[in-house]
Amino acid sequence: MTEICPPYAPFFGFAGVAASMVFSTVGAAFGTAKSGIGITGLGQFRPELIMKASSSLIPVVMSGIIAVYGLVVSVLIAGKIQPGSYSLFAGFIHLAAGLACGFTGMAAGYAIGIVGDSCVRAYVYESKVFVTMILILIFAEVLGLYGLIVALILDTLTNGVEC
């Protein structure tokens, strides 16, 4: 153990794993719950649209994808943590990667939930809102994708870092 590779360095890597998984899952859960509320609201007025119109299920699926982003980053980070040969630099980079993916996933899930709830309810009265809903959901989903990309770029910075 040296100053570059202290025994507590893996803590920061595991904190990145936890942050990525927990925060992105919280966002996905919120998006799913909020969109589910909109779907039940749709079912109260037009029950035939719940399964007939796939538009009501799109926000739920897109929310679930956010959790997958966090899972991917968590698995990548966890695979690089080696006791005894893990540097403090890698720990901090992995913490930053986990936080970047986790927080953007939480923000994307929140946006998807709000948009999904509102647009699915509006679909009851006007079916033309479908295209607008898809566009807004795509832009909300991209927030999580940006976090995934940043986390992957950060993860590549640890290649070649040795104790």
Three-class HEC string of 12-24? HHHHHHHHHHHHH
The two tokens of residue 51 are 């399964």
The two tokens of residue 78 are 């966890």
Give the model's pLDDT for residue 65.
Answer: 95
Give the model's pLDDT for residue 52.
Answer: 63
User: Residues 118-126: contacts with CB within 8 Å, 24+ apart?
Assistant: 118/38, 119/38, 119/59, 120/35, 120/38, 120/39, 120/41, 120/42, 120/55, 120/56, 120/59, 121/38, 121/41, 121/42, 123/42, 123/49, 123/53, 123/55, 123/56, 124/41, 124/42, 124/45, 124/46, 124/49
- State how far the Cα of 100 lies from the Cα of 86, in Å rounded to an integer: 21
pLDDT at 53 over 60: no
Rounded to two decimals, what is the model's pTM? 0.89
Mean pLDDT across the chain, nearest whole number? 90
The two tokens of residue 33 are 């719950």
Higher pLDDT, 46 or 8: 8
| Least reliable range by pLDDT among 1-10, 48-57, 114-123 | 48-57
Taking each helix axis from N to C terminus, what angle separates 58-80 and 88-123, rounded to the nearest 10 degrees? 170
pLDDT at 103 over 70: yes
